[in-house]
Every structure is written in C-alpha cells, then in structure tokens.
Amino acid sequence: MVPTPTPPPRPAPGGEGEIDAAAWAASMCQAVDQLQQAVGDPTTGERSTAWQEFETALTGADQEQLKAAANGVLGHLTDGSRAAQTATGFEPGSGAASEMQALQDGLAEGVRVLRDGTVAGTVSRADEGRQLIDAAYEDHYEQALGQMAQVPLGGVVLPCL
C-alpha cells in the first residue's frame, strides 16, 4: 500500500509576510492589471492610455507634460511592483512574483531614463531608456506569466491569465 503524500504546509495569512494562494492570486492579478494600465498588453501590442500619453509627450516640447505623463506610467508600475512584492510571500509562487516585480521595476527604470534623457536632450540617454524597457520585457515578461500559470493554487482561480 502506497501512503497518501501529505501536502506541503500552506503559509497562514497574516504571518511574517507569508500569504495564502488566494492572496497570491489577488496580488498577482493586481500586478498584471497595473502593468496593463501602465503600458498596455505586450502580447497584443495594444498600448494603454498612460503609455500613449507618455509616447506623445516624448515627441512634444512641453517638459512638464512629459514629466506628468511619465509619472502616470510610473505610478502604475510602482503599484504593480508593490503588489508583486506582496505576492512573494506565497512560497510556491514567489519565483513568478519576483519575475513580475523585476519586470515592473525594469520598465520603471527605463521610463525614468527615457524621460530624463528626453528632458536633457541627450539622445544616447533616451536610447538607453528604450533599451532598458526592451530588456525588461525580454528578460521578465514571458517568464513572469509563464511561471504564474504553473503555480499550484489548490483550486484557487487565477482570473488574470
């Protein structure tokens, strides 16, 4: 007779930064939502309103408008990064959460460099910002979503995938 394996213990909500599967799913979906509000859907190429405003401001001459548009994108990325950081408290999903956080943080760094390079009129710095944005996508986007889909949630629905 083969013994029934004992499932691994689940962290209790409210512990030392540990969360359960339902809280992980909610935090990760919040991170995905903030990513989509910041930049759009990288899979379809659809750009968010915030990103469109940022791109438009990059080509204009109004530095205050550019800073405001960048801050709109950065606000969503910051909120998404915080949500992903919360999700690292669920051990089975901590890798996916870390990838999502790295994606949002990398995009935010790229946006800041692109904004600052554009304001300063330094083409090489603006190009560096675009490269940082591209690298964040290449290094973390598919990994984050792919890992999210693999996390064992014990029946908890992950509606954002």
Residue 90 lies in a domain: yes
Residue 57 lies in a domain: yes
**In angstroms, how far is CA 139 from the centroid of its own chain?**
12
Residue 114 lies in a domain: yes
- Domain total for the chain? 1
Residue 12 lies in a domain: no
Q: For every one of its 161 residues, what pLDDT tens digit does the chain have, with 9 covering 90 and above? A: 433 433 333 344 443 489 999 999 999 999 999 999 999 999 899 999 999 999 999 999 899 999 999 999 999 999 999 999 999 999 999 999 999 999 999 999 999 999 999 999 999 999 999 999 999 999 999 999 999 999 999 999 999 98
Domain of 68 in residue numbering reads as 21-39+47-150
Q: Which two tokens stand for residue 58?
A: 């990059």
Residue 157 lies in a domain: no
**Virtual torsion, Cα 98, 52, 54, 33, nearest 10 deg:** -30
Residue 124 lies in a domain: yes
Residue 7 lies in a domain: no
Backbone angles phi, psi at 45, to 5 degrees: 85, 0
Q: Within the chain, what is the greatest distance between any pair of CA atoms?
A: 76
**What is the Cα–Cα distance from 143 to 19, expressed in whole angstroms?**
22
Beta bridge partners, 46, equal: 41
Q: What is the pLDDT of residue 17?
A: 82
CB 148 within 8 A of CB 158: yes
The CATH number for 124's domain is 1.20.120
Q: What does pTM read for this prediction?
A: 0.89
